[in-house]
Every structure is written in structure tokens, then in C-alpha cells.
Amino acid sequence: MQQKHRVRRKRGTVGYNEFTPEELRAYNREWERLARGAKWRDHGDMRECKACKQKKPRTDEFFHRSPSGRLGFNARCKTCAKALAKPWRRSRAAKACGLSFYEHRALVDGATCAICLADKKIVLDHCHSTNKPRSALCNDCNAALGFMKDHPGLLKRAAAYIEFWQQGHAK
């Protein structure tokens, strides 16, 4: 005698029905086909862009490939994806300061760190109480200021500590 198999019914209920493994596979295939047909809108060789709602050919020319995306391609066409990506390139500090992408880039591009004069990994520093941008700093100096809670007294004591140990007191 064949075993009973669990079968998913409509509305998420689960029960026991007597199906052979072949009948169960056929039932599940049909259920997935119906669910997929209702959820996905396959326009054949065309794909509708989620952003601009235009139907474009489903090719590498118009859509980026995505193995996890519906039908193997991203939901947005390449032009919409490129246009929508620019605002997300801003840093959190730029968003907090209310700067646009281009204002943020103007402050950061080609800048050097105001503290150590390095030109690698430049970020925009901002005041946490007023959310106003201050200056371009390297990521390390910006993190150091953050760890010291932007408190000048702590920074002075930290500098005095380092100077004390650099003057030959370390044995």
C-alpha cells in the first residue's frame, strides 16, 4: 500500500490525502504552474520594466541578468536602473545633511583629508547635533573623531597621552 503524502491545499491548509508519488508530483506541478501564471506576467520575448512600464525585448541589451530575478533578468531596464542608482550612491552623511548627489560629489571628489592629508577613502564629515557638513576626511580620521564622540577635551587628552609615550617613557 502506498503512503499518505502531505498536500498543500488552497488558503494554506495542509491535510492528508491518499496520492501516489506520481499523482503528488503532478498535483504540485499544476499548482505551481497556476500560481506562477497568476504571479508572473510573461510577455514572451518582451519584459515590462518595473520603473518606466515600457515593454522591451528581454535581452542583455536592455536588461541586466539576474539569476534570482524573475525570468532571469532584473525588474528594471538598464536605463532606469542607471538613473535610479545615482541617488543611492550618496553617503549617509550626505543624506543627513540634505545634500544632493552632485553637491556631495563636489565636496568629496579630489579632496584630501583635513587632518592627515591622505587622499584615500575620503568621506564627508558632519556635525551630529546640527547635521551640517564640516569637511572631507579620510575614513580613519572620521572614525577616530566618532570614537572620541567629537569631544575636543578627549581629543586633547588623547594627543597628550600619545606625546607622553613617544617622549621615551615607554621602557
CA distances to 74, 82, 88, 138 from 78, in Å: 9, 6, 16, 33
C-alpha cell at 1: 500500500
pLDDT digits (tens, 9 = 90+) for 60-95: 899 888 877 656 788 889 988 887 765 555 556 677
Q: What is the pLDDT of residue 93?
A: 62
Tens digit of each residue's pLDDT (9 = 90 or more) over 103-148 = 888 888 889 999 999 988 888 888 878 888 889 999 999 999 989 9
Where residue 2 falls among pLDDT bands split at 50, 70, 90? Answer: low
> What domains sit in the chain, N to C, each tagged with a CATH number?
1-39 (no CATH), 42-89 (no CATH), 92-169 (3.40.1800.10)
The Cα 126–Cα 25 span in angstroms is 59
Amino acid letter, 4: K
> Half-sphere exposure (CA, 13 Å, Cβ side) for 78?
10
Q: Which residues contact 136 (CB under 8 A, 6 or more apart)?
A: 107, 108, 111, 112, 113, 114, 122, 123, 124, 125
Strand partners, 138: 122
Q: Answer for the pair 126, 144: CB distance below 8 angstroms, yes or no.
A: no
